[in-house]
Amino acid sequence: MQKPRIWAHMTVQEIREYLKERPTAILPIGCTEQHGYHLPTNVDILNAEEMAKRVSAETGIAVLPTVNYTYSGGELPGTVNVSPNIIALYLEEICLSLAAQKVKNIILLLGHGGSENNQAIMAFRDLFLRKHRHLEVVLAVIPLFAMGDDGVLHMLCDNETRKLYKPNDWHAGKTETSLMLYWEPDLVHMDRLTQDSKGMAELMRIDPDAYQDIQKPVDSPYVAPRAMQRKEIQVGVMGYPEEATAEIGERMAQSGVKELLKIIKNIERR
């Protein structure tokens, strides 16, 4: 295993030579948002960055600087929201710039699992080559977290590792806390672990989008809703962080890297 190849640490000459050798780049995409009282606001950033670096250490693929600001939808202090349509346009500009430099395989690695954010990024992906059909590139968007066939939110992993995941564990829960205990244990404060009221915490476990208070000015399917975070939410944890361990985080990460390597190998085989 080698050191990760970090785009931001490379010179013009080094990048020019690298792209002749391997025209692939990974763009980690995170989100700056609250993760309860026990985790920092860079959880999603680290999820994307750390996985990308581990893939780079295995393959030598260059890792671009992380996109730190996307759309959370939450409104607690520490969260910085950028509209999903702006994110899509921003990513399009980055990808066009990379394509102009002869990057042939552009891999967007999503460390944030928010539904609105990911829908916008997937829509951008599906329109990119339709809009820019002259480009000879492969654009891949790989979410680190996705709903499995069993109805449980999983990180990319093998079937054996799936057994570590718990139903109704979402934001700042067992999975993300375990990963943070593995990535950056000094940033985790289990002694400060707090939940919202029992009823609200359970509601958000059942439906992670239940944090929203959705109202319509007119009762009609044709009228846009008004959505905001429920005022009674003060912590924002959606899951079971008390069950987290660094060992679980390590196993999830290792399995995820293996799955990413399979996907990327297939992309580069073209």
Per-residue b or e along 246-265, where b marks 16 or more CB atoms closer than 10 Å to that residue's CB: bebbebbbebbbebbeeebe
Inter-helix orientation angle 43-59/174-183, to 10°? 60
Cα 263 from Cα 270, distance rounded (Å): 12
- Mean of all residue pLDDT scores within the chain: 94
Give pLDDT tens digits for 209-221.
Answer: 888 889 998 999 9
Residues of the chain with pLDDT > 70, as a percent, come to: 98
The CATH T-level fold of domain 22-213+228-264 is Rossmann fold (3.40.50)
pLDDT at site 243: 97
113/186: higher pLDDT? 186
Q: Which of 131, 126, 206 is nearest to 173 (CA)?
A: 206
Q: Which of 12, 105, 6 is nearest to 60 (CA)?
A: 6
Kindly state the average pLDDT of the residues 256-269: 95
pLDDT at site 118: 92
Instruction: Label residue 225 exposed, middle or buried (CB < 10 Å: 0-12, 13-18, 19+).
Output: exposed
Locus of tokens 């680290």:
46
Cα 64 from Cα 139, distance rounded (Å): 15
pLDDT at site 151: 66
